[in-house]
Amino acid sequence: MAQYARSLIERYRIRVAGPRASASTMSGGNKQKLVVGRELSRNTPLVIAENPTWGVDIGAIDFIHGELMRMRDAGHAILLVSTELDEVIALSDRILVMYDGSIAGEVDGGEASRERVGALMTSRAADALGAASPGVAA
């Protein structure tokens, strides 16, 4: 267990007294890196990442984004749920937007913009998609 903890500390640059230190002694950002590291090291076929970079520094954000993309490129499915619109647009191959409990629309990651996704977020789906879409009220 200590070897596993050391590997996470090193790989994810977690600032902590050592592998036996309690998580309660860590800052919020280091706790977040610990959780992200633990989950991504499990090598599961599906990763659900909810606000994976909340509370971490810029360097850690880039690292976490890189790790998610590395896993995607290795064939893992990544479901990203984030309140950071720029993060969603930068990392997603496909974006589904929910509004009022239903899917308001879908945007290909390569065609996503803040305006287009924002319009779906406010249920202006027809404006966001450029035309009325089946199943989406204008």
The DSSP code for 37 is H
Residue 15 lies in a domain: yes
Q: Is 110 inside any structural domain?
A: no
Domain count for the chain = 1
Q: Is the pLDDT of residue 130 over 90?
A: no
Write the CATH number for 71: 3.40.50.300
Residue 63 lies in a domain: yes
Side-chain-side CA neighbours of 90 within 13 Å: the count stands at 13
* pLDDT digits 0-9 by tens, 61-74: 888 899 999 999 99
Q: Is residue 121 part of a domain?
A: no
Query: Where is average pLDDT lowest: 1-5, 90-94, 131-135?
Result: 131-135
Decide if pLDDT at 133 tops 60: no
- The pLDDT assigned to 13 comes to 86
Please name the amino acid found at residue 12: Y
Residue 130 is assigned to a structural domain of this protein:
no
This prediction's pTM: 0.75
| Continuous segment of H or E residues that includes residue 48 | strand 46-50
**Do the domain assignments include residue 37?**
yes
By residue range, what is the domain housing residue 48? Answer: 2-92
Sign of the CA dihedral 110, 113, 119, 123?
Answer: positive
pLDDT above 50 for 122: yes
pLDDT of residue 138: 39
Query: pLDDT per residue over 23-58, tens digit each?
Result: 999 988 888 888 888 988 988 999 999 999 988 888
